[in-house]
Structure 1
Amino acid sequence: MIWNIVSDSSCDLRTEDFSSDKVAFELVPLRIQVGSQEFVDNDLLEVPVMLAAMADEKTASSTACPSPAAFARAFEKGDKTICFTISANLSGTYNAAVLGREMVLEEHPEKEICIIDSKATAGAMVLLIRKAKELMEADTTGDFGSICAQLRLYQAALRTCFTLENFDNLIKNGRMRPLVGTLLHSLGIHVIADATPQGTIHVADKARGEAKTYSAITALMRDSKDCAGAEVVISHCENITGALKLKERILADLPVKSVDVIPCRGLTSFYAMEKGLIIGY
């Protein structure tokens, strides 16, 4: 029996970061269109090159979700597969995965495939993948339904928040007026947002300067859930210094179990832009 975990590339996990003798893992990449250039969000993508292209491009860049066939190819490799996707309210990726599941089950009805909408992205998806791996490796009965149920409960308890410093992408996509973006940037104001339980984005706060921003983030985390023993993953877009400072603040302010720092992949870099930080906990 082959246990299989599949995720789209918004999870920020690299294939090389996953290791198991019992569980297979595969990433299905999204694509980023910048002018006439297309960037595939796989392990070979050079994020700084993509960000430079976005900065040079005057028109709005866009993203494209994987095809159902791409998910089907990943699902076919396992007997029991659990798939995590970026929030269905942010992308068509979840629907593509559902169609991919239907394609596989038509040919292989004996396979078991569970698709879970993370209602988030980045670190929250990393935590879901780690939990799935832990449950699969510990399993002795092959109780697929029980593992899926546990993961759905775990997903409901996870939270995501993020902070932005660069607003160019929001401006180019018409989601922020140029004057507002310029003013926020010149004043050193950071936007702090979180993901709702439905997987949509909610602007929670604004703060001026790093110290106040990180304090506001830990306050938001404290108010959103009991963080005692929580695992935290910080994804950073070309901002390891800021991520490490935020890690110190989280460890000082909250009773969390651990804080890991990882770089953003292409899709999350597209949204977070340079200096952006995404926190899953």
Structure 2
Amino acid sequence: MWHLVADSACDLYQLEGTEGKMDFATIPFSIRIGGKEYVDDENMPVSEMLEANETHDEMAQTACPSPEAWREKFSAPGPVIAFTISGALSGCYNSACLGRDMLLEDEPDKQIIIIDTKATGPEEAMLIWRARDLILAGKSFEEIEKDLNETANRIHTCFALASYHNLIKSGRVGRLIGFIAGHLGFWGIGAGDEKGEIVIRGKARGSKGMVRFLVEEITRVGLAGKQIVISHCQNLKDAEALKAALEAAHAGIQVLIQATRGLDSFYAERSGLIIGY
């Protein structure tokens, strides 16, 4: 039995189509706002967390899963594949590596793959689905590890945020673009670079302008495959508009929409979109 495990930045709660050959689990981040801790599991009240973050002046604190939490998941019998948010944005990848090293001291022959997705949300989900398909195709441990690392370097992430409040306070984007996006009614458009860091591409006024900008950005960069995934933070309307525009621009593609879990909701903030392609 294979075991797939990811941090909660993947935006997935379950994995379908495993045909009994693997299981899937996530390990939650936690977010502390105003003295209250929100655990990013299936019971997290995302709307309450967003409102608390919007009404508290102090910077909220996020915590990634501990090495012990990873070690516990890695200890299940059989090969394991783990997926983490970009190591450039979080200590989660390092935590997973520490958890693996702890287990290997006791089980030196244990097969564990850890994939730094260099992204979050949609791209992380795409890699999980890719791993599932490779396992079902009967690929070897070595073939799967090679394929997943190559795929992680080939696919891309971009995003559109109506607010950069959290990213500014955490020092991940410049204050100027945050001011433009937050105070003048513009969407800020960004992307993840090859190191998994955030790069600002530009700005767009209004939802129609934002959708147009994203379609142009995705077309300019080029599709790595036929699948595009959109994660949205309480903004299904714009996610569906972007899906329609992408399908009109690129024949034969598959566009999937999913809601952000807690961590991606925290950073994307209300109405934000994250796209993997």
Contact 1:7 1:84 (C-alpha < 8 Å) held by counterparts: yes
Of the structure 1 ranges 164-173 and 184-193, higher mean CA displacement relative to structure 2 is found in 164-173
SS at match of 1:275: coil
Quote the Cα distance in structure 1 between the aligned partners of 2:21 and 2:193: 34
Aligned to 1:279: 275
Contact 1:218 1:254 (C-alpha < 8 Å) held by counterparts: no
Aligned to 1:218: 215
Runs of 4+ in structure 1 over 6 Å off:
none
* TM score, norm. by length of structure 1: 0.92
Q: Which amino acid aligns with 1:117?
A: D
1:173-184 aligned within 5 A:
173=170, 177=175, 181=178, 184=181
Contact 2:156 2:192 (C-alpha < 8 Å) held by counterparts: yes
Aligned to 1:7: 6
1:204 paired with 2:201, answer yes
Contact 1:59 1:172 (C-alpha < 8 Å) held by counterparts: no
Per-residue Cα deviation, 1:190-219 (whole angstroms, up to 9, x for no partner): 100000011000001111111111111111
Aligned to 1:85: 84
1:240 paired with 2:236, answer yes
Quote the Cα distance in structure 1 between the aligned partners of 2:260 and 2:223: 26
Per-residue Cα deviation, 1:240-276 (whole angstroms, up to 9, x for no partner): 1111111111111123520010000011011000000
SS at match of 1:44: coil
Aligned to 2:58: 59
Of the structure 1 ranges 104-113 and 118-127, higher mean CA displacement relative to structure 2 is found in 104-113
Q: Which amino acid aligns with 1:214?
A: V
Question: Match for 1:167 among 143, 164, 167?
Answer: 164
Quote the Cα distance in structure 2 between the aligned partners of 1:150 and 1:181: 37
Contact 2:177 2:188 (C-alpha < 8 Å) held by counterparts: no
Quote the Cα distance in structure 1 between the aligned partners of 2:7 and 2:145: 18
The alpha-carbon distance between structure 1 residues 18 and 38, as it changes in their structure 2 partners (threshold 3 A), is: farther
Residue 173 of structure 1 deviates from its aligned partner by 4.2
Question: Match for 2:142 among 142, 145, 168?
Answer: 145
- What is the aligned-residue identity percentage? 39
The alpha-carbon distance between structure 1 residues 78 and 119, as it changes in their structure 2 partners (threshold 3 A), is: farther
Contact 2:233 2:260 (C-alpha < 8 Å) held by counterparts: yes
Aligned to 1:266: 262
Give ranges in structure 2 of 5+ residues lacking alignment: none
Quote the Cα distance in structure 2 between the aligned partners of 1:35 and 1:106: 39
Quote the Cα distance in structure 2 between the aligned partners of 1:105 and 1:155: 25
Quote the Cα distance in structure 1 between the aligned partners of 2:228 and 2:189: 17
Quote the Cα distance in structure 1 between the aligned partners of 2:148 and 2:58: 40
SS at match of 1:126: helix
SS at match of 1:91: coil
Q: Which amino acid aligns with 2:207?
A: E
Quote the Cα distance in structure 2 between the aligned partners of 1:280 and 1:212: 19
Aligned to 1:102: 101
Q: Which amino acid aligns with 2:156?
A: R
Residue 52 of structure 1 deviates from its aligned partner by 1.1
Aligned to 1:33: 32
Aligned to 1:253: 249
Give ranges in structure 1 of 5+ residues lacking alignment: none
Quote the Cα distance in structure 2 between the aligned partners of 1:256 and 1:22: 30
Quote the Cα distance in structure 2 between the aligned partners of 1:80 and 1:164: 38
Residue 224 of structure 1 deviates from its aligned partner by 1.1
Quote the Cα distance in structure 2 between the aligned partners of 1:223 and 1:242: 21
Quote the Cα distance in structure 2 between the aligned partners of 1:256 and 1:149: 27
Number of aligned residues: 275
Quote the Cα distance in structure 1 between the aligned partners of 2:75 and 2:149: 23
1:156 paired with 2:153, answer yes
Contact 1:23 1:137 (C-alpha < 8 Å) held by counterparts: no
Quote the Cα distance in structure 2 between the aligned partners of 1:95 and 1:172: 23
Quote the Cα distance in structure 1 between the aligned partners of 2:241 and 2:100: 41
Quote the Cα distance in structure 2 between the aligned partners of 1:26 and 1:218: 33
